[in-house]
Structure 1
Amino acid sequence: MFKHKHNMAIKTITVTEDAYESIKRLKNTDESFSQFFLRISREKMTVKDLAGAIKLSDNEYAALKKHTKELRKKASTDMKERLKKCMF
């Protein structure tokens, strides 16, 4: 019979009361803070996850949306050009 012993390192982090309450609201009621941090660090973040993280005016939002669309179009065009070069 083999027994595997796992030594768990424990780290203490300092957060403000506001930060603690924010984190506490985000975690599931049945998970520990360690489980919560592991879960969120493994999840792939999307733009929706960041919604509300930055306060933008309507004009700033429209400009950002337009800029993002232009970047995507340019990236697509650049990729098409690279593929053409690869195909001789």
Structure 2
Amino acid sequence: MQSPIARRFVVHGRVQGVGFRYRCVQAAETAGVTGWVRNRTDGSVEAHVEGPADAVEQVLAWVRVGPRHARVDSVEVGEVAPAGHRGFTVR
């Protein structure tokens, strides 16, 4: 079994008002990761995703595209410590 990893994603583009956070929850639940996603005041979306590396990468692949009406211009990815979240929530 893989040790869990955690990543912080900040997604820039047209990512608010297009269902990004709620579709991110679906992608996270499908991948089996935990964490959270939230809108930021600068118009970006931030997420904390933790779980097995391959599952975190699966969510990152989705984040780079986003839902149908989104336009992802860039994604910042940072390593963070796993926090032991349960479930995946919208903040």
Query: What is the TM-score with the length of structure 2 in the denominator?
Result: 0.22
**Relative contact order, CA 8 A, sep 6+: which one is greater?**
2
Identify, as 1 or 2, the structure richer in helix: 1
Larger radius of gyration: 1
Identify, as 1 or 2, the structure richer in strand: 2
Query: What is the TM-score with the length of structure 1 in the denominator?
Result: 0.22
